[in-house]
Structure 1
Amino acid sequence: MKKYAYIGALGFLAVITTEFGIIGILPQVAEHYHISIDKAGYLLSAFALVIALTGPFMTLLASGFDRKKVMLTAIFIFLVTGVVSSFSPPFWLLMLVRILPAFLQPVYIATALSVAVSQGNKQNENELMSIVFSGVAIAMVTTVPFATYIASLFSWEYSFMVQAIISVVALLAIYFVLPPMPVKEKKSYGSQLKILTKPTFIVSTAMNFFMISAWFSTYSYFADYLNKAKGMDSTMVSYMLFVFGIIGVLANWVAGKMLNKNITSTALFFLSGTIIVPILLHFSGGNTVATIVVIALWGFLYSPSFLNASTYMISSAPEAMEFANSLATSFGNLGVTVGTTVGGWIIVSKGVQFTPWITIVFGVLAFTMILLRQYVERKELLRVDPTNVGIQP
């Protein structure tokens, strides 16, 4: 039954609108508070850093509670953030209310995924997960560009009003559609923590970190990059976010199908964008049509990155799915923090047009981690059965 997966996706839509809706309005926020663009970027990187540092612990703590109540609590905090932020509070308060929902974001994602797959079978598990993660792509095609567009028409505060409205809709859907979901059998902390000793899981975690760092070293400054490197105004940027997102919806659906066949090949295919897209952005120059085509490709290859990262990590530790996914969320957000921070440093020291080259550096490191996991798995397989000479697909 896919109903629970779609409810999870709706909540994910609210979560992602709050986390990444800030990307399209960073230049306006920086101007309003009279701060530099890299300082405004802290609104994104601090959010991600809190997730990275607290995600696994919060998920472990919440693992024994009714899943419906956990999801409701998380989305309610996101609603509070949207409402308070829409009143353009002092920057310190804006930062504080941005950070609060970050504590529960990985808890929501892990719980929503667990609820979704609990209603299906092993064969369509990745497809159900892709439905939940489609909330990311749908946010990129609807609420994130719409919030940017509304901000360009009126002011940046209206962007947060959009985020609050989406949170209300998600809150109502979870409350009225999901039944109570008490945890029948709570896994011990020890059994879940054991995955931290698995070499394949550690390498998979590193791949996730480098891949997300790669994408976000440029994507965090999407609006600023298109403003200054490509000469686009705020309205055009909102259109580009729309193109980016509409392609991303298709990409998530394709990735879900591909992951059911081969997880590693799918990860490699979409990771190739961290090498291809920066090169094409460079050669597209000031050609608007060429830039739009590259942005469409960028949206296709980037959008399933969180789905690919979670699935890749869970595949190395299926016995602790929720905890593995919370670590995927945490290290992915650590990647958001590092990518955003390094990208901001490059903007200040060199210029925004150089940020795509950082994407390539992190991308190469992510490729290396996939190859390293293949090597580790092959070594483990040979130790168990010396007659084996390769890895089963």
Structure 2
Amino acid sequence: MPLAIYVLGLMIFSMTTSEFMVAGIMPSLAAEFGVSIAAIGYLVSGYAAGMIVGGPLLTIGLLRLPRKTAFLTLSFVFLAGQILGALAPNYELMMAARIITGIASSACFGVAIEIALTLVRPEASGRAASIVLGGLMVATAIGLPVAMLFDQYFGWRSSFWAVAILVLLSGIMALRLIPSSPSVGSVSIRGELAAFKNRHLWAAFATSMLIIGATFAAFSYFSPILTDVAGFDAKIVPLLLGIYGAATVVGNLITGRLADRFMMPILTIGLTVLASALILFGLFAGNPVIAIAAVIVIGLAGVPMNPAMVTRVSRTSNSGSLVSTVHVSVVNFGIVVGSTIGGLAIDHGLGLSSPLWVGAILGILGLLSLLPYLVKEREPKAGIQKSGQTCA
């Protein structure tokens, strides 16, 4: 793998740490701006909204730029938004900072994946994507806990400045290590949009949304489930979440190496394991041993399906930045869908374990979305066997 791909992964790590860390430093931000915890939760929603809506629009605006130039431009926009957040004197400016960084992050994800896929042979695209998206997993395992430590010992603004420094360093390394890309001034926006007429692309998007929705329906409520249902001490929960993050990193390393050759088996087996773990967790959430085992399995099987998801999208349509950015938006929509439905289930009195069942249902729907394509894959093999028998 070219070193530039690891630099792309470092940038994604920095941006994803910024996305996640607000959830870990909510009390400090609420005290700073004199607002409720719920209001700080809207900062997370603002970031997600920027990724879902603004990212694709910004990507369209940058389509005619060379990919390296587009990546560096987006990194600079993100850096500006991150610095605004570090300096924000009030809640309103912090919200603006979160929306700016969300928009830039989504577009940067798409361009980073596109650049990575141009730096390797097609048969290595899954592994390249796993390294870039590995930044997301490492942010869960390392970035979020470190940001929380910065908040505890140096204040919440230090967390924002630390991410800003990481983004700056990543940008400098990207400037030196990413090969210059030719101008793409002849790119047709209409041609890029034509890719979305492919119904198989939307089927791939739907599966990705259901995978992430199933995972985050559970992950979003791990803390209250582990403390109030499984009976763990609140001080142990960060460690358990760190174990979950480590499991995602391990799972990503495995699927990244296998995604190019076994894309569909990874999605099929991964969804089966994910849904089974969520059902088992839902049935025995009060058992600490099963709870820990389920958390680890969900970490291994859920988000690490990303390389296979990216491989499927690129094979179904193309590896252009607009398709990749919309895929990122779909994934973030899955996060919103899973966490929202899980929250509604709790609010309607179905219990703290109900998000696990929401996740299981979404996982089963994800499996069902694959069935037509599994049948198509088997049909040619059956035809070949039949032909061979006839010749014999």
Match of 1:275, as an amino acid? Answer: A
For 2:258 and 2:103, locate their aligned partners in 1 and report how far apart those are by CA, in whole Å. 32
Q: Which residue of 2 aligns with 1:332?
A: 331
Residues 140-159 of structure 1: pairs in structure 2 closer than 5 A: 140-151=140-151, 156-159=156-159
Contact kept? 2:17, 2:139, Cα under 8 Å? yes
The answer to whether the 8 Å contact 2:214/2:362 transfers is yes
Between the aligned partners of 1:279 and 1:310, the Cα distance in structure 2 is 26
2:345 counterpart residue number: 346
Letter in 1 for 2:277: V
Structure 1 residue 100 displacement after superposition:
0.8
Post-superposition CA distance 1:199-223 (Å, at most 9, x none)? 2112111112222222222323444
Task: Return 5+ residue gaps in structure 2 as ranges.
Answer: 387-392
SS of 2:65's partner is coil
* 2:238 equivalent to 1:241: no
Q: Structure 2: how far apart are the matches of 1:209 and 1:271?
A: 12
| Matching residue's letter, 1:181 | S
TM-score normalised by L of structure 2:
0.85
Matched, 1:218 2:218: yes
Shift of 1:357: 1.6
Partner SS state of residue 183, structure 2: coil
Name the structure 1 match of 2:71.
71
Which residue number in structure 1 is paired with residue 20 of structure 2?
Answer: 20
Distance in 2 of aligned mates of 1:269 and 1:104: 34
- Aligned-residue sequence identity (percent) comes to 23
- Residue 231 of structure 1: how far off its partner (Å): 4.8
Q: How does 1:364-383 map to 2 (within 5 A)?
A: 364-374=364-374, 377=376
The farther-off stretch of 332-341 and 304-313 is 304-313
Output the amino acid matched with 1:346. A
Measured after TM superposition, the shift of residue 140 of structure 1 is 1.9
Unaligned runs of 5+ in 1: none
Letter in 2 for 1:260: D
Inter-CA distance 389–59: structure 2 relative to 1 (3 Å threshold):
farther
Q: How does 1:263-274 map to 2 (within 5 A)?
A: 263-274=263-274
Cα 1:341/1:127, change in 2 over 3 Å: same
Alpha-carbon deviations, 1:53-84, whole Å to 9, x = none? 23333223212213233222322333344444
Provide the C-alpha distance between the structure 1 equivalents of 2:288 and 2:155, rounded to a whole number of angstroms: 26
Match of 2:181 in 1: 181
1:292 match: 292
Greater shift in the superposed pair: 228-237 or 165-174:
228-237
Q: Aligned to 1:21, what secondary structure does the other structure show?
A: helix
1:246 Cα deviation after fit: 1.8
Number of the residue aligned with 2:36: 35
TM-superposition CA deviations, 1:239-279 (whole Å, max 9, x none): 22321222222211111122121211111222234412323
1:359 Cα shift? 0.8
Larger Rg: 2
Q: What secondary structure sits across from 1:41 in the alignment? A: helix
The CA deviation at 1:119 is 2.1
Contact 1:306 1:332 in 2 (8 A): no
Alignment of 1:70-219 (within 5 A): 70-86=70-86, 89-151=89-151, 156-184=156-184, 186-219=186-219
Mapped partners of 1:362, 1:268: distance in 2: 14
SS at match of 1:92: helix
Measure, in 2, the Cα distance between the counterparts of 1:235 and 1:181: 49
- 1:367 Cα shift? 1.4
Paired residue type of 2:337: V
Distance 1:161 1:286, change over 3 A: farther
2:390 equivalent in structure 1: none
How far does the alpha carbon of each residue in 1:269-319 deviate from its partner, in whole angstroms, 9 at most, with x for none?
A: 22234412323333554554543333222221123143333222222113x
Supply the RMSD in Å over aligned alpha carbons: 3.2
SS of match in other structure, 1:334: helix
Q: Which residue of 2 aligns with 1:323?
A: 322
Answer whether contact 1:204 1:373 (CA < 8 A) is retained: no
Q: TM-score, normalised by structure 1?
A: 0.85
Aligned counterparts of 1:84 and 1:218: Cα–Cα separation in 2: 32
Q: Distance in 2 between matches of 1:70 and 1:335?
A: 26
Assess, with a 3 A threshold, how the Cα gap between structure 1 residues 31 and 232 changes in structure 2: closer, same or farther: farther
- 2: CA distance between counterparts of 1:36 and 1:229? 23
**1:45-56 alignment to 2 at 5 Å?**
45-56=45-56
Q: Give the whole-Å Cα distance in 1 for the aligned partners of 2:365 and 2:329.
A: 19
